[in-house]
Amino acid sequence: MEYRREFLKKSLWSALALWAAPLGLAAATRTDHVVKKGDTLSGIAKKYGTSVPALKATNGLKSDTIQVGEKLQLPPSAATGIHIVSKGETLSVIAGRYGTSVKALKRDNGLKSDLIRVGQKLQVPGGGSGGASGLLAPVIAATHRIRVDATRWRYIVCHHSAIEAGNAEVYGRAHKRRGMEHGLAYHFVIGNGKDSGDGEIEIGPRWEQQLRGGHVRNSRVNDTGIGICLVGNLENHRPTQRQRQAMNELLDFLRDGHTRRGVSVTVHKRVDKNHTVCPGRYFPYGDLDRFA
Ligand SMILES: [Zn+2]
């Protein structure tokens, strides 16, 4: 039932995308994913929880061949927003899957208790499949594959890259050249649409392997801090709207069950005082107030 519903929705969106593409309505405006070396359509579809046909339809692709650097848009089916309860599922399992909380699920569905039944339809806060935007989907998928010891993470530290170009792979190579054995110093990199998607959250090996960061001088914070880097020089301009949205959804996801209670959500310059301007004067500092 659930599968069929999903399939119908995807088909419908695909049809819409096919219809809209020649009119120039679907494409052009947004980049969700920039093709990197080794990417395949099926790999990308799996990463974002969508299908190859839907990806092809959305992007007007005639074959499965994609080029490095090619900009792709994700099908809107990433945000259907309804979850149908399966056998064995609890509210906390469902909340975890969509990167939301039990409290938000109960509130949005008017539930008085934690009791749910098989077949029940739930509205997923923020539209489902990875937060309001779908931008969290790859993070949720990657985090499902690993075991996170929430108690070890005491800090989340935000950075900017201070340059306009680059992505997780590019920064990872640079950090390796600088002698970091685990490469990319951050756990997550949020793209600006240049060398990765606008708002795309790239997951580094340090998150996948739950390794300490290498993003600040303070070694206690490196040991226990998750590093998030926004691509761009935020001394000169604000992050894109989707970058900011991705960052906020990622922060909420990490705060809700993946970090120690009372985790300190901060920025680089507050950790390494008098050493850096990172993450720049146009970083949205007010977004962190809710964690204070
Ligand atoms: Zn920094």
Domain 81-128, CATH class in plain words: alpha beta
- Residue 19 has a pLDDT of 44
pLDDT of residue 256: 85
Quickly tell me which residue has 């692709």 as its tokens: 61
Q: What is the CATH number of domain 148-291?
A: 3.40.80.10
Nearest CA to 285 among 262, 268, 260, 263?
Answer: 268
Distance of CA 270 from the midpoint of ligand 1 (Å): 10
CA of 292 to the centre of ligand 1 (A): 20
Residues of each domain in the chain carrying CATH 3.40.80.10: 148-291
The CA-to-CA distance between both ends of the chain, in Å, stands at 43
d(CA 134, CA 91): 20
| Residues 155-182 pLDDT 10s | 999 999 999 999 999 999 999 999 888 8
**How much is the pLDDT for 275?**
92
**pLDDT for residue 123:** 80
Q: Which residues of the chain have pLDDT under 70?
A: 1-30, 48-50, 75-81, 96-100, 125-133
CATH 3.10.350.10 residue ranges of the chain are 81-128
Q: What is the pLDDT of residue 230?
A: 98
pLDDT for position 96: 66
| 3-state DSSP assignment of residue 33 | strand
- Please give all residues whose CB falls under 5 A of ion ligand 1, grouped by chain where several chains appear: 159, 268, 278
Q: What is the whole-number distance in angstroms between the Cα of residue 156 and the centre of ligand 1?
A: 12
Q: What is the pLDDT of residue 1?
A: 44
Can you tell me the distance from the alpha carbon of 131 to that of 190, in angstroms, rounded to the nearest whole number? 15
Listed residue (276, 34, 32) closest to 158, CA to CA:
276
pTM of this structure: 0.67
- How far is Cα 147 from Cα 278, in angstroms, rounded to an integer? 30
Contacts of 235 (CB under 8 A, 6+ apart): 160, 162, 277, 280, 281, 282
- Cα of 161 vs centre of ligand 1, distance in Å, is 7
Cα diameter, the chain = 58
- Give the architecture (CATH level 2) of 2-78: Roll (3.10)
How far apart are the CA of 279 and the centre of ligand 1, in A?
6
Model pLDDT for residues 228-286, shown as the tens digit of each residue: 999 999 999 999 999 999 999 999 999 988 999 999 999 999 999 999 999 999 999 99
User: What is the rounded radius of gyration, in angstroms, for the C-alpha atoms of the chain?
Assistant: 19
The tokens describing 186, both together, are 């951050």
Q: What angle do CA 81, 82, 83 make, to 5 degrees?
A: 125
CA of 225 to the centre of ligand 1 (A): 12
